[in-house]
């Protein structure tokens, strides 16, 4: 009797991991400002394990992500506390795919997560905004929209892939703390 139930649960799990391809070249940061996403060929191939803490509306959630970038695609894999996959964000050829585990979900908006990671880790001269301005300092990046600070990013280390990064989205009222646990150039 256990085998049919286990088999049914397995097939339900497979059917529940729904993915949706979506063509995407930019992400809206506000009503009148968009960020032009960078394709994978704008990055050096890399692999990074990161601990993410999200602070939004008084809720704090911490989880790990594995970021993989090769010459064709960008992958952000959200991990459960036992390091199984909670979600997968893939971006290749201007096509965004997102799948998530049916029973273990984090409140993730794939478009915003991809844009936030790119805003944090891209070189300053690669960030292209419609109707916005980027100011890069040694260990700080600020994005202004309509002459008001919209996003603040503070790096604890000159190397973005080491130390702690504080990301604050003042428009949407959330904060991210990013700690890179492991990093490898591929």
| pTM to 2 decimal places | 0.86
Domains of the chain: 2-185 (2.50.20)
Average pLDDT over residues 178-184: 96
Nearest to 153 by CA among 143, 164, 166: 166
Q: What is the DSSP letter of 119?
A: H
Task: State what percent of residues in the chain have pLDDT above 70.
Answer: 89
Least confident piece of the model among 13-22, 127-136, 163-172: 13-22
| CA dist., res. 42 & res. 52, Å (int) | 23
pLDDT, tens digit (0-9, with 9 covering 90-100), for 106-147: 778 899 999 999 999 999 899 999 989 999 998 999 999 999
Residue 2 has pLDDT above 70, yes or no: no
Asked whether the beta carbons of 40 and 70 are under 8 A apart, the reply is yes
Beta strand pairing call for 140-145 and 132-137: antiparallel
Q: What pLDDT was estimated at residue 67? A: 96
| Integer Cα distance of 150 and 147 in angstroms | 9
Strand partners, 25: none
With a cut of 50, say whether residue 75 has pLDDT above it.
yes
pLDDT band at 182 (very low <50, low <70, confident <90, very high): very high
Mean predicted lDDT score pLDDT of the chain: 88
- pLDDT tens digits along 18-31: 446 899 999 999 98
What's the pLDDT at 20?
A: 67
Q: What gap in Å lies between CA 158 and CA 19, rounded to an integer?
A: 37
User: Are the CB atoms for 53 and 176 separated by under 8 Å?
Assistant: yes
Question: Would you state the pLDDT for residue 80?
Answer: 85
pLDDT at residue 11 in the model: 42
């Amino acid at each position: 009797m256990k085998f049919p139930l286990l088999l049914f649960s397995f097939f339900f799990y497979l059917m529940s991991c729904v993915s949706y391809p979506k063509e995407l070249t930019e992400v809206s940061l506000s009503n009148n400002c968009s960020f032009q996403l960078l394709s994978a060929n704008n990055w050096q191939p890399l692999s990074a394990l990161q601990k993410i803490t999200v602070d939004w509306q008084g809720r704090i959630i911490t989880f790990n992500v594995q970021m993989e970038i090769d010459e064709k695609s960008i992958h952000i894999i959200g991990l459960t506390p036992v390091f199984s996959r909670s979600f997968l964000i893939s971006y290749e050829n201007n096509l965004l795919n997102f799948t998530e585990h049916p029973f273990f979900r984090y409140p993730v908006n794939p478009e915003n997560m991809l844009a936030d990671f790119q805003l944090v880790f891209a070189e300053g001269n690669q960030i292209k905004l419609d109707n916005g301005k980027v100011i890069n300092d040694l260990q700080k990046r600020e994005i202004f929209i309509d002459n008001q600070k919209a996003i603040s990013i503070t790096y604890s280390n000159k190397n973005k892939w080491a130390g702690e990064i504080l990301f604050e989205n003042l428009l949407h009222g959330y904060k991210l703390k990013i700690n890179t646990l492991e990093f490898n150039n591929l």
